[in-house]
A = this chain, B = another copy of it.
Amino acid sequence: MIIMETDATPEQIARVIDEIHKHGLRADVIKGEFRSVIGLIGDELRISFDILSVLPGVKEVVRVERPYKLVSREYGEFFDSPHKHRRIKVGNVTIGGSEPIFIAGPCAVESKQQLFRIAEDVKKAGAHILRGGIFKPRSSVHSFQGLGAINGEMAEETLNWLRDAGNMFEMPVVSEIRGEIHVDLMAKYVDILQIGARNMYDQDLLTKVARKKKPVLFKRHFGAGIEEFLSFAEYIAAEGNKDIILCERGILPLGKGKEYTRYTLDLAAVPAIQKETYLPVIVDPSHSTGRRDLIFNMSCAAIAAGATGLMIEVHYDPSASLVDAKQAITPDELKNTIDACLKIHKLMRPVATKTKAKPDEKVKG
């Protein structure tokens, strides 16, 4: 992390970037109101910090001792000072702003009729963003893989429905990208590109998605620690795309005997991650618990833990869902959940901000 003098010239900045490129690294440049900051991308050991620190216009070179640097709170404070989180705008919705955001919709898009009916329902219930799976990652090749997986024509048609439903009910749309081959197609239709838990470690997919310059909803793998989760988010940030929404969706359950929840929802990870990064964190209570009867409580708990939003699966007839029938809630249940969450969020706010100390001088970027 190279902090430039307040009066550093564009030429001086270019000179630093040149030096960085010369050693095979890349540069992430933040132009602030008062000063610029340059982040290194690549193996720091290949460049001498002593040389960088004496280049003209350089005020200070700071080493960030973590595998994640560009997404660290430390780095983010140079461009996100007035807010607790980065605010990510999609259409007329702001994720990471003063209000929690609710993403809702069917697990899988099953038909145009099903999608439009649910879209209308979730909008009425208070949701802000519409979700809908088109390519479903499945454990078995013998299971339904999503309408998009049938053939290319079907994929495009289904994406069109999603786009239209979003437009009609005024909600940005999000859908999961399962493989690199779908990135271009998906980016044409959806507003937020989701990378699912199983693909968290797929660095080539991360890089390709990041380059679309659209917000990325990035889910934690069920076997990943927090450090790893942020280290892989760094692959997205390294492409210059910091509009990353982190999503906790449960880790592997532990212990012998019957499983009472599908995964272990790691809610303490929410405030723990928020201390490490400026990226907003949301929670998926649907996949983590796998139980419709726990969604209400765990949604409220997630907001109380500090989540900036929720991603919930909704179906007008949950038991008829083609995928994950046990975890979808009805639109009425969604409304109850959103109402309770908004009240809890309101109640938490003043207390939460009390504990926040802000550094004085900051740059925006």
- A289 touches which one: B226, B235, B268, B291 (CB < 8 A)? B268
Cross-chain contact A264 with B261 (CB below 8 angstroms): no
A239-274 interface code vs B (CB 8 A; 1 in, 0 out): 000000000000111111111110011111111110
A223 nearest CB neighbor, chain B only: B223
The answer to whether A198 has its CB under 8 Å from any CB of chain B is yes
Q: How far is the CA of A189 from the CA of B89 in the complex (A)?
A: 45
Cross-chain contact A138 with B267 (CB below 8 angstroms): no
The answer to whether A185 has its CB under 8 Å from any CB of chain B is no
Q: Considering the complex, which residues of chain A in the window 202-249 have a beta carbon less than 8 Å from any beta carbon of chain B?
A: 202-205, 208, 221-228, 231-232, 234-235, 238
Q: Considering the complex, which residues of chain A in the window 105-161 have a beta carbon less than 8 Å from any beta carbon of chain B?
A: 137-144, 150
- Determine the chain B residues whose CB is within 8 A of the CB of A256 once the complex forms: 139, 224-225, 227-228, 252
Interface hit among A11-19, A29-37, A38-46, A79-87: A38-46
Cross-chain contact A223 with B254 (CB below 8 angstroms): yes
- Determine the chain B residues whose CB is within 8 A of the CB of A180 once the complex forms: 179-181, 204
- Determine the chain B residues whose CB is within 8 A of the CB of A268 once the complex forms: 261, 264-265, 288-289, 294, 298
Interface hit among A96-104, A308-316, A347-355: A347-355
Number of copies of this kind of chain in the complex: 4
Cross-chain contact A142 with B269 (CB below 8 angstroms): no
Q: How far is the CA of A340 from the CA of B351 in the complex (A)?
A: 8
Q: Offer 13 A-B interface pairs, CB within 8 angstroms, sorted by A.
A: A43-B142, A139-B257, A140-B234, A141-B234, A180-B180, A180-B181, A231-B257, A260-B269, A260-B273, A272-B289, A296-B355, A300-B344, A336-B351
Seen from chain A, the residues whose Cβ lies within 8 Å of a Cβ on chain B are 24, 40-44, 67-69, 137-144, 150, 178-182, 198-199, 201-205, 208, 221-228, 231-232, 234-235, 238, 251-261, 264-273, 275-276, 288-289, 291, 293-294, 296-298, 300-306, 336, 340, 343-344, 347-348, 351-352, 354-355
